[in-house]
């Protein structure tokens, strides 16, 4: 383990939006990425599992409601003061008592057994509590106050130096860090928009930047590119109930035959390669490639060249047309199908100002037009989408490195809650499996139930998933990012999840 950083010069990076609320984990900082200044009890691995960070080991009681976490010995915060189980308890109690982004309603109480042991008591079993243990950064009680978010202290790989709001964040390697010490001594994190980051890259003002794919296509060869796999997906949420005459349900999309026909005829490979220039991969679930999801056996019928087999594509379209006709959706004189006086037509909403969502919506509308289904696309605000999403399909973006998102999106308990189960999907088989996953005695056993739930979800088609975006970064070829982890919906900050593996390969 290196005792001091190898590379002493500042490395300047631009990762995306500035955390305008500051750097307080209790209010969400670092929820999907390495919090840098703080550390969590556990950390996510590149395989979707969890490993120890501040925690040395952790156990679950036989009744599955009590987690006992043993900390590593002699932990120290960045200011040189000891970090103990009391700080852990303080963090969780505070997060539970305020309007935090963490849902800790199931946390009954936190006990401190000794300086290195903390005990979490849950009201009900929840294996997903591991996700919270792996995402909530610990704050030192002695350093926490009203100004903490502006001047944070923690036990992460880096220490806070200066925050020039609207401009940059300066960090230095934490000499007290308990893990593998960072190789890079100083980080300057610049806050700028996509166009500015691109210009700064070309002029060598920054060493690394998150960029959209369209900029990646025009970068000079001297600038290195990294393409990071993500579960940053785009998909269509379907209203699952018949229209109630007010603000819920849709008489077209509530018919399973419609959803299955659309899902089976969308050419996802075309979306990836023609629309997104290969900066994506096909999507069939909310968590493709992660342990809690499985690939459907009948998807991705590709030719040796990696494109959809034309014969299979044509056969899928014909089968979908026949299934629609069998379900009573008959082609009318104007070429549009109808059933019991209801035309197969609807509006597909997406967030305005997002070029990728707009292109996906328009392309999908054209792909399914031969079925005799008419789709009108509409870009609008999130406020407007929240008003129509229970009765009209919406092209959403989801994707986190946690199976909890699967529960929020598909369990009937969350029908109409926030933006998750907007279509009011409900299936008792799925609910049962998701409940069994939550109360499972181990992470591995929970995965079995999540996968079984996914099997039923494939059959019901409450969503049509389209693509998982590839996150693109560009910068100085002297910078080595090691093996970046799969990334969630957020593009930018999650790149730092393996920050201690980053190295500088040149002399400067």
pLDDT confidence of residue 3: 59
CA 455/CA 410 separation, integer angstroms: 12
pLDDT of 341 higher than 80: yes
Sort 295 into a burial class: Cβ within 10 Å, 0-12 / 13-18 / 19+.
Answer: middle
Can you give the pLDDT at residue 176?
95
Say what angle helices 256-265 and 355-368 make with each other, to 10 degrees: 110
d(CA 131, CA 476): 34
Residues 82-88: what's their mean pLDDT? 98
Q: Give yes or no for residue 266 having a pLDDT over 90.
A: yes
The CA distance from 43 to 34, in Å, is 8
State the Cα–Cα distance between residues 149 and 145, nearest whole angstrom.
9
**Global confidence as pTM:** 0.90
**Number of Cβ atoms within 10 Å of the Cβ of 168:** 17
- Domain covering 39-141 assigned CATH 3.40.50.450 in the classification: no
Strand pairing partners for 60? 67
Q: What is the DSSP string of 225-293?
A: EEEE-B--EEEEEPP-S---SSSS--TTTTSHHHHHHHHHH--HHHIIIIISTT-EEE-SSTTTTSTT-
Q: Is the pLDDT of residue 306 over 60?
A: no
pLDDT band at 305 (very low <50, low <70, confident <90, very high): very low
Higher pLDDT, 102 or 69: 69
Is the torsion defined by CA of 82, 83, 84, 90 positive or negative? Answer: positive
Task: Provide the token pair at 302.
Answer: 């590709």
Between helix 428-438 and helix 443-460 the angle, nearest 10°, is 170
- Mean pLDDT, all residues of the chain: 93
Whole-number pLDDT of residue 16: 85
Q: Using 50, 70 and 90 to split pLDDT, how confident is the model at 446? A: very high
Q: What is the pLDDT of residue 299?
A: 55
Determine the average pLDDT of the residues in 468-476.
96
CB 419 within 8 A of CB 277: no
380-406 average pLDDT score: 95
Neighbours of 51 (CB within 10 A): 11
3-class DSSP state for residue 211?
Answer: strand
pLDDT at 307 over 70: no
**pLDDT over threshold 80, residue 296:** no
Q: What is the pLDDT of residues 43-70, one digit of tens each?
A: 988 767 889 999 999 999 999 999 999 9
Query: Which pLDDT band holds residue 185 (cuts at 50, 70, 90)?
Result: very high
> What is the DSSP-derived secondary structure letter of residue 17?
S
Q: Summarize pLDDT for 126-166 with one digit per residue, the tens.
A: 999 999 999 999 999 999 999 999 999 999 999 999 999 99
| pLDDT (mean) for 214-225 | 91
Q: What is the pLDDT of residue 50?
A: 87
Given the structure tokens 């290969």, which residue do they identify?
A: 278
Instruction: Tell me the mean pLDDT in the region 284-303.
Output: 75
- Residue 353, both tokens: 């100002």
What is the H or E stretch that residue 44 is in?
strand 42-44
Q: According to the model, what pLDDT value does residue 143 have?
A: 96
pLDDT of residue 301: 43
Q: Give the residue-averaged pLDDT of 414-431.
A: 96
Cβ–Cβ < 8 Å for 158, 11: no
Split at pLDDT 50, 70, 90, the class of 303 is: very low
Nearest-angstrom CA–CA distance, 392 and 422 = 9
Min mean pLDDT across 12-16, 51-55, 486-490 is at 486-490
- 3-state secondary structure at position 454: helix
Geometric angle at alpha carbon 142, from 137 and 147, rounded to 5°: 75
Half-sphere exposure of 369 (CA within 13 A, CB side): 11
pLDDT band, very low/low/confident/very high, at 228 (cuts 50, 70, 90): very high
Predicted pLDDT of residue 381: 97
pLDDT reading at 257 higher than 70:
yes
Q: What is the CATH number of domain 233-469?
A: 3.10.105.10
- The mean pLDDT of 213-229, rounded to a whole number, is 92
Domain boundaries of the chain, sorted by first residue? 39-141, 233-469
Name the pairing type of β-strands 66-71 and 117-122.
antiparallel
Beta-strand relationship, 345-351 and 374-380: parallel
Average pLDDT over residues 190-214: 92
DSSP state of 483: S
Instruction: Report whether pLDDT(297) > 70.
Output: no
The helix (run of H) or strand (run of E) holding residue 474 is strand 471-475
| Whether the Cβ atoms of residue 258 and residue 364 lie closer than 8 Å to each other | no
Which of 203, 58, 175 minimizes the C-alpha distance to 118?
58
User: What pLDDT score was predicted for residue 1?
Assistant: 43
């Amino acid at each position: 383990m290196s005792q001091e950083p190898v590379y002493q010069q500042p490395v300047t990076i631009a990762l995306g939006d500035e955390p305008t609320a500051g750097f307080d984990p209790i209010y969400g900082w670092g929820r999907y990425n390495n919090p840098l200044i703080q550390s969590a009890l556990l950390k996510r691995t590149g395989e979707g599992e969890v490993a120890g960070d501040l925690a040395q080991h952790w156990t679950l009681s036989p009744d599955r409601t009590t987690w006992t976490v043993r900390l590593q010995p002699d932990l120290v915060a960045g200011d040189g003061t000891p970090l103990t189980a009391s700080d852990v308890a303080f963090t969780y109690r505070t997060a539970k008592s305020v309007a935090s982004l963490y849902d800790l309603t199931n946390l009954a109480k936190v006990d401190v057994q000794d300086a290195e042991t903390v005990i979490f008591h849950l009201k009900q079993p929840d294996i997903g509590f591991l996700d919270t243990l792996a995402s909530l950064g610990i704050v030192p009680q002695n350093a926490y106050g009203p100004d903490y978010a502006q001047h944070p202290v923690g036990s992460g790989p880096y220490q806070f130096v200066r925050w020039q709001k609207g401009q940059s964040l300066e960090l230095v390697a934490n000499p007290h860090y308990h893990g593998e010490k960072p190789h890079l001594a100083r980080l300057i994190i610049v806050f700028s928009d996509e166009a500015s980051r691109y210009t700064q890259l070309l002029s060598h003002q920054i060493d690394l930047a998150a960029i959209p794919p369209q900029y990646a296509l025009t970068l000079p060869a001297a600038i290195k590119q990294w393409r990071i796999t993500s579960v940053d997906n785009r998909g269509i949420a379907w209203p699952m109930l018949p229209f109630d005459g007010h603000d819920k349900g849709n008489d077209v999309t509530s018919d399973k035959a419609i959803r299955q026909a659309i899902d089976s005829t969308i050419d996802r490979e075309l979306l990836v390669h023609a629309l997104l220039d290969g900066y994506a991969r096909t999507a069939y679930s909310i968590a493709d490639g992660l342990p809690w999801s499985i690939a459907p056996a009948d998807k991705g019928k590709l030719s040796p060249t990696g494109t959809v087999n034309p014969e299979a594509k044509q056969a899928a379209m014909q089968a979908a047309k026949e299934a629609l006709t069998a379900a009573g959706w008959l082609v009318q004189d104007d070429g549009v199908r109808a059933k019991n006086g209801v035309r197969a037509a609807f509006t597909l909403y997406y967030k305005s100002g997002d070029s990728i969502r707009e292109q996906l919506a328009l392309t999908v509308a054209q792909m399914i037009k031969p079925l005799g289904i008419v789709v009108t696309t509409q870009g609008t605000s999130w406020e407007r989408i929240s008003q129509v999403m229970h009765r009209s399909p919406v092209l959403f973006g989801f994707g986190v490195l946690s199976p909890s998102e699967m529960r929020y999106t598909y369990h009937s308990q969350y029908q109409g809650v926030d933006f998750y189960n907007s279509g009011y999907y409900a299936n008792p088989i799925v609910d049962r499996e998701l409940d069994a996953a939550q109360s499972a005695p181990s992470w591995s056993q929970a995965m079995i139930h999540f996968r079984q739930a996914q099997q039923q979800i494939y059959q019901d088609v409450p969503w049509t998933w389209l693509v998982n975006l590839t996150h693109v970064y560009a910068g100085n070829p002297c910078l080595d990012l090691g093996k970046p982890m799969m990334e969630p919906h957020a593009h930018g900050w999650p790149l730092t999840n393996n920050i201690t593996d980053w190295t500088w390969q040149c002399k400067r």
